[in-house]
Structure formats: C-alpha cells, structure tokens
C-alpha cells in the first residue's frame, strides 16, 4: 500500500487549514493510500540524520518552502513542486513569470526593494507610478491570502501612506479593474485540466474572496476563460492551481493571481466537485 503525507501549517489556528488537509487525507484513503496528516513542525529537518518513515509522496499544503525543498531533496515527490510554491507565494514573483508568457493581466508594476530604514520618496519614482496607473489603483503585497493584503488606493494621500508603510516588503502596484469590482472567478486546475470553477461576488467590498464576504455560485466558463486559466497555471508550472480571473472592460478575462495551495472546501460546497479526489488521481497516475 502506498503511503503519503499531507503537510499543512501547524502554527495557523484557523480550522480551514486543517479542514483542507483532511479533505486530501480522505481522498487519498478513498484511493487506497495510507495517508498521514502532518503539521510542518512534525517533520524534523535534522540535516545530519536520515529522514524516518519516508512516504511515497507528499501533498504539500503549506508555504514552508524550506521543508518542501528538504523533502524534495530527500528524493520524495512533492506536490506542488517547491519551486512552484515559492513562485506563487510571492505575487510579485508570479506576475514576472506570468508576464514572461504574455498572460493577460491588469497592468502591473513591481515595487523596487526599499530597505525599511530608507526612503525613495524624493526620487520621483512614485509620481511616475501614479502617472502610469492613475487612481484608484491596487497595491498588493507579495505574501497575502483571502484578500487581506490587497488594498484599493483612492487618493494620493492613501498612496503615499501605503508605500511608506510597505518599506521592506515585496509588493506590486496594479491597475484597478473597475469592471470587476466585487466579482471574480476561481478556477481549479489539476494537471493542466479544469476540474471546477465558481463565480464569486461581493456586495460590500471590491474583493470577491469568500472569506471576505463574497458569495459563490456555479459558473460555465467561456472558452477564453478556460484557455487563459490553463495557460496561467502552466506559466508558473503549477500542477495544482487555483486561478483567480477578473472581468476586463469587454468581459475579457484577466489573471488576478495563481494560488498553488488553493483551498477547496468552498468550491466543493458550491459545485459538489471534490478537487482533492482529482489531485490524488493525478498524483497516482503520475507516479504509476
């Protein structure tokens, strides 16, 4: 019997991380695999010792990239690949990757590195960004989920306060897609194929995230939406991806972001599709 570990972050107290891991564990067990849930700190990264109880593969739901790399180096197949997790975990990095493949997305400017104790406020740099993107615009931190680190900037005062606050942090400036205010699409992709999609909309916020008050419903994707979502996942190398799509001016799709460890509970509730089963099926097929 094959053996797998499902790794999630042990320091996060929200139940949804545990729940996501359990969905994967149950799917693995349905497929006849011996699955063990592990918090990231339950795998000891002692580099001078051999890793004990090696599994045949790891489903990696955490962003502990060092642990993912450690396991990969021990010769264990890790899904997603640690490099993909790392790319997706930093929105700035993933947008660079998406742009390389000419993926349609909002106009995006990667903020330069500014050390926390210094400033480039007098350099004219920020005025140039304001001129290129205009207001309102989006400022988005590199690391963030559930819409928590995405800001709608409406005034110059807010703009300068935010860039000052974000010294030392990776972030991007992005065109605000007004036609997508409070609505987007989540597409789940497994091994280059779309397995589920939902529309999300919010009456109260420009962000459509469900955790942030968005309401989800089933959606039939257009061919353009399907194609773009698949290309976006491919551009970052993600075998498992939750791609967020925005609605452009003429309803044309634009990529908002690619998640490497997308939560799958909401899409299960809305569509009845258990993405975890597809993920396990894909891994089993790949390792066969």
Sites of contact with ligand ADP (CB under 6 A):
106, 138, 140, 144-148, 150, 174-177, 180, 184, 206-209, 244, 246, 256-257
Q: Which is nearer to Mg ion, 4 or 85 (CB)?
A: 85
Nearest residue to 135 (alpha-carbon basis) of 104, 114, 159: 159
From the list Mg ion, ligand ADP, none, partner contacted by residue 138 (C-beta under 5 to 8 A by kind): ligand ADP
Cβ-proximal residues to 133 (8 Å cutoff; 6+ apart), any chain: 107, 109, 173, 174, 175
Q: Which is nearer to ligand ADP, 25 or 183 (CB)?
A: 183
From the list ligand ADP, Mg ion, none, partner contacted by residue 146 (C-beta under 5 to 8 A by kind): ligand ADP
Residue 236 is classified by DSSP as T
Q: Which is nearer to Mg ion, 146 or 160 (CB)?
A: 146
Binding mask 209-248 for Mg ion (x = CB under 5 A): -----------------------------------x----
Contact yes or no for 186/236 (Cβ under 8 A) = no
Contact yes or no for 240/262 (Cβ under 8 A) = yes
Smallest separation, CB 205 to ligand ADP (Å): 8
Q: Report if residue 277 touches Mg ion, rule: CB under 5 A.
A: no
275-278's contacts with Cβ under 8 Å and 24+ in sequence apart are: 275/188, 275/190, 275/195, 275/196, 276/23, 276/24, 276/26, 276/27, 277/27, 277/30, 277/31, 278/190, 278/195
Length of the chain counted residue by residue: 288
Smallest separation, CB 5 to ligand ADP (Å): 25
Alpha-carbon distance of 142 to 39, in angstroms, equals: 24
Q: Which is nearer to ligand ADP, 40 or 209 (CB)?
A: 209
Q: Which is nearer to ligand ADP, 171 or 176 (CB)?
A: 176
Q: Which is nearer to ligand ADP, 67 or 150 (CB)?
A: 150
Q: Report if residue 89 touches Mg ion, rule: CB under 5 A.
A: no
From the list Mg ion, ligand ADP, none, partner contacted by residue 239 (C-beta under 5 to 8 A by kind): none
Q: Report if residue 64 touches Mg ion, rule: CB under 5 A.
A: no
SS (H, E, C) 248-282: CCCCCEEEEEEECCCCCHHHHHHHCCCHHHHHHHH
Alpha-carbon distance of 37 to 8, in angstroms, equals: 8
Residue 183 CB coordination number (10 Å):
18
Smallest separation, CB 266 to ligand ADP (Å): 12
Residues binding Mg ion (CB under 5 A): 244, 257
């Amino acid at each position: 019997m094959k053996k797998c570990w499902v790794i999630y972050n042990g320091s996060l107290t929200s139940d949804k991380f545990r729940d996501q891991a359990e969905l994967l564990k149950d799917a693995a067990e349905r497929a006849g695999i011996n699955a063990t849930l592990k918090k990231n700190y339950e795998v000891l990264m002692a580099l001078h010792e051999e890793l004990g109880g090696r599994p045949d593969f790891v489903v990696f739901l955490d962003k502990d990239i060092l642990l993912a790399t450690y396991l990969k180096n021990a010769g264990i197949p890790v899904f997603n690949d640690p490099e993909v997790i790392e790319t997706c975990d930093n929105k700035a990095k993933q947008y660079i990757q998406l742009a390389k493949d000419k993926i349609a997305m909002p106009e995006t400017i990667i903020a330069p590195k500014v050390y926390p104790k210094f400033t480039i406020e007098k350099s004219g740099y920020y005025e140039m960004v304001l001129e290129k993107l205009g207001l309102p615009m989006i400022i988005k931190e590199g690391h963030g989920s559930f819409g928590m680190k995405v800001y709608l900037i409406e005034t110059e005062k807010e703009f300068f306060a935010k860039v000052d606050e974000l010294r030392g942090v990776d972030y991007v400036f992005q065109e605000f897609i007004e036609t997508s205010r409070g609505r987007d699409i989540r597409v789940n992709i497994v091994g280059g194929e779309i397995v589920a999609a939902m529309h999300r909309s919010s009456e109260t916020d420009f962000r459509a995230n469900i955790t942030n008050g968005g309401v989800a419903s089933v959606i039939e994707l257009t061919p353009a939406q399907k194609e773009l979502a698949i290309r976006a996942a491919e551009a970052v190398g993600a075998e498992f991806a939750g791609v967020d799509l925005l609605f452009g001016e003429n309803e044309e799709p634009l990529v908002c972001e690619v998640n490497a460890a997308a939560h799958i509970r909401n899409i299960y509730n809305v569509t009845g599709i258990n993405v975890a089963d597809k993920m396990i099926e894909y891994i089993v097929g790949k390792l066969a």
